[in-house]
């Protein structure tokens, strides 16, 4: 016989999970004790939302599973936002929350998670793919199987189990579960799609973050090269296609490039959408008069297909990578033309030297100063949209950003989890002062657990997208400027991190170089703060 807590901990280790994330509490203490016995490190986050973000970044980087723990009541409710963000990021995360005791349910209890209290089982349903309360110990195995299958099937995402204290300590017959290897489903109309691509006269590929979650980078490039189709990326699709590729037009939507706008303005007959919901942030500039004649839409499920762009649409349902591979297997292996990739050269202008830097200059210096293979997690704000516009991709799968849910501060936790999952990668968090105010305390988690992330903080003393958007709409901003701005460098130092404050491109380049050397020598994180122009207009003003 073995306790439910021990069985869970043993499975975490079996699945290759060396870190789980959370904040202790009595209701989940048995599981924390069990993970310690099974040599799985419990990472003390600074807030349960941060723990959920840590787990999502861990899952995205190791392509297995992330685990986040929250105690009963508020410990669970604090994880709701992280669950919503993980769902938007297609991150398979197992969220486990506690409940004081199943046998006492119905009595007045502190931090009650049942229907008599916060009812976490119901609360998590809209923001996860599966949510259940394990009310008997003999249900743990079957509920865990259901949870994992939901986390891995179709579009991957978070799942939730609420497990009471007395269930965790109860002993049951041991069981053994592997992480699911579910069949990849392909669409029945792929030969028709191939023919439509053959017949297209001015096609265009628009890529979303579904290519990240399906790991279809190579297949995307082969598709583009075979039919000589230019590629644009949505904000969430940033990082899926090399900026130096001759068929790259950069971004569409917020942070989009002039090249993408010019190509669309000349007309598109066939638009191939791969792994995008086509949100309002993704299709800024694609007005009705510029709609394509036909749309081919690759996605796991049909919810948003045919809802945004009102033209005849061919849905391609199922696993994106498998569908692209099937099409490519039906055509000649050699592309129609030659592929050209040229080194990117950016001339960086001196702007606002000695006072505050331009954010445009900042992102150009960041790109020049980081190694080509650095992996960037962009937080939600104008700082990342500057990155979408100006940060060149030199390695596929090296830039992650969410343009759907958009929880401020999430990338801080994502980058910490990602670094613990891949300690040999250069992991960078691109973040603003507003996001640091939200969840910046998580950098202490990075310091305490040797998650050696480079945090680059663009600081202009305001919620920049909101402030500029208000000024555009009503001529003034309300509640979007900090009377006492964040000093990110001092904030980091207060938690033991090495930090740098920069105001010019030379200072920034030098600080990044020193920070990377510090990370390599100490295995500790570092913070580079950049004071950027508070009056600069971000590349986000095209959204209506």
Q: What is the DSSP string of 449-503?
A: TT---EEEEEE-SB-HHHHHHHHHHHSS-SS-B-SS---HHHHHHHTT-EEEEE-
**pLDDT over 70 for what percent of the chain?**
94
More confident residue, 108 or 423: 423
Q: How crowded is residue 250: how many other Cβ atoms within 10 Å of its Cβ?
A: 24
From residue 262, how far is each of 250, 266, 328, 345 by CA, in Å? 12, 7, 29, 22
The three-class DSSP label of residue 98 is: strand
Q: How far apart are CA 390 and CA 335, in angstroms?
A: 29
Residue 154 pLDDT more than 90? no
Tell me: the pLDDT tens digits for 28-43? Answer: 999 999 999 999 999 9
Do the beta carbons of residue 41 and residue 18 sit within 8 Å? yes
Kindly list the domain boundaries of the chain, sorted by start residue. Answer: 2-172, 190-329, 359-531
Residue ranges of the alpha helices (H) in 25-79? 29-37, 48-62, 74-77
**pLDDT over 90 for what percent of the chain?**
78
pLDDT band at 439 (very low <50, low <70, confident <90, very high): very high
Q: What is the mean pLDDT of residues 212-218?
A: 94
Do the beta carbons of residue 433 and residue 458 sit within 8 Å? yes
Residue 103 pLDDT more than 50? yes
pLDDT band at 112 (very low <50, low <70, confident <90, very high): confident
Tell me: the pLDDT tens digits for 1-21? Answer: 999 999 999 999 999 999 999
Q: What is the mean pLDDT of residues 179-190?
A: 88
Residue 351 pLDDT more than 60? no
What pLDDT score does 267 carry? 92
| Equal CATH topology for 190-329 and 359-531 | yes
| pTM (2 d.p.) | 0.93
pLDDT band at 483 (very low <50, low <70, confident <90, very high): very high
* CATH number of the structural domain 2-172: 3.40.50.970
Residue 75 pLDDT more than 70? yes
Do the beta carbons of residue 492 and residue 499 sit within 8 Å? yes
What pLDDT score does 347 carry? 60
Residue ranges of the alpha helices (H) in 65-184? 74-77, 80-88, 120-123, 140-152, 165-169
Tell me: the pLDDT tens digits for 263-300? Answer: 999 999 999 999 999 888 888 878 888 899 999 999 98
Q: What is the mean pLDDT of residues 133-151?
A: 97
More confident residue, 354 or 421: 421
pLDDT band at 78 (very low <50, low <70, confident <90, very high): very high
User: 359-531, superfamily in CATH?
Assistant: Thiamin diphosphate (ThDP)-binding fold, Pyr/PP domains (3.40.50.970)
Q: Which fold has domain 190-329?
A: Rossmann fold (3.40.50)
pLDDT band at 431 (very low <50, low <70, confident <90, very high): very high
pLDDT band at 345 (very low <50, low <70, confident <90, very high): low
What pLDDT score does 285 carry? 77
Tell me: the pLDDT tens digits for 406-416? Answer: 999 999 999 99
């Amino acid at each position: 016989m073995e306790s439910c807590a021990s069985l869970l901990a043993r499975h975490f280790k079996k699945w290759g999970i060396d870190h789980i994330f959370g904040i202790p509490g009595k209701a989940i203490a048995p599981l924390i004790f069990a993970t310690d016995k099974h040599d799985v490190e419990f990472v003390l986050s600074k807030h349960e939302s941060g723990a959920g973000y840590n787990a999502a970044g861990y899952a995205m980087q190791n392509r297995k599973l992330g685990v986040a723990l929250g105690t009963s009541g508020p410990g669970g409710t604090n994880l709701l936002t992280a669950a919503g963000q993980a769902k938007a990021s297609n991150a398979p995360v197992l969220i486990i929350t506690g409940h004081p005791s199943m046998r006492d349910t119905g009595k007045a209890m502190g931090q009650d998670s049942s229907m008599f209290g916060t009812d976490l089982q119901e609360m998590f349903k809209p923001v996860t793919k599966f949510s259940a309360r394990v009310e008997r110990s003999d249900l743990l195995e079957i509920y865990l199987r259901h949870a994992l299958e939901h986390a891995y099937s179709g579009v991957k995402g978070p799942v939730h189990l609420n497990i009471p204290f007395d269930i965790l300590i109860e002993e049951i017959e041991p069981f053994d579960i592997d992480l699911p290897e579910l069949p990849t489903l392909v669409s029945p109309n792929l030969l028709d799609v191939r023919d439509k691509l053959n017949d297209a006269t001015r096609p265009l590929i628009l890529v979303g973050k579904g290519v990240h979650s399906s790991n279809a980078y190579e297949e995307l490039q082969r598709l583009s090269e075979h039919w000589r189709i230019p590629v644009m990326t949505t904000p969430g699709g940033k990082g899926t296609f090399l900026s130096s590729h001759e068929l790259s037009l950069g971004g569409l939507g917020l942070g989009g490039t002039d090249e993408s706008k010019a190509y669309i303005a000349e007309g598109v007959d066939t638009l191939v959408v791969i792994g995008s919901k086509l949100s309002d942030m993704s299709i800024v500039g694609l007005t009705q008069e510029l709609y394509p004649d036909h749309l081919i839409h690759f996605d796991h499920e049909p919810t948003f297909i045919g809802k945004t762009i009102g033209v005849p649409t061919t849905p391609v349902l199922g696993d994106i990578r498998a569908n692209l591979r099937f099409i490519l297997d039906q055509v000649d292996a050699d592309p129609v033309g030659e592929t050209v990739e040229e080194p990117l050269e950016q001339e960086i202008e001196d702007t606002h030297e000695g006072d505050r830097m331009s954010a445009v200059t900042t992102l150009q210096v960041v790109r020049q100063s980081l190694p080509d293979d650095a992996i960037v997690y962009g937080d939600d704000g104008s700082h990342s949209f500057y990155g979408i516009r100006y940060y060149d991709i030199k390695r596929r799968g090296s830039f992650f950003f969410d343009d759907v849910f958009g929880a401020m501060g999430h990338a801080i936790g994502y980058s910490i989890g990602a670094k613990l999952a891949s300690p040999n990668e250069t992991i960078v968090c691109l973040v603003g002062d507003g996001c640091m105010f939200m969840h910046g305390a998580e950098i202490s988690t990075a310091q305490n657990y040797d998650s050696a992330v480079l945090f680059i903080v663009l600081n202009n003393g305001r919620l920049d997208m909101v402030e500029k958007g208000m000024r555009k709409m009503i001529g003034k901003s309300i509640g979007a400027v900090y009377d006492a701005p964040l000093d990110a460098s001092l904030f980091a130092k207060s938690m033991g991190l090495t930090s740098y404050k920069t105001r010019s491109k030379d200072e920034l380049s030098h600080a990044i170089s020193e920070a990377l050397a510090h990370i390599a020598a100490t295995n500790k994180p570092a913070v580079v703060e950049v004071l950027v122009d508070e009056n600069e207009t971000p590349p986000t003003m095209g959204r209506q």
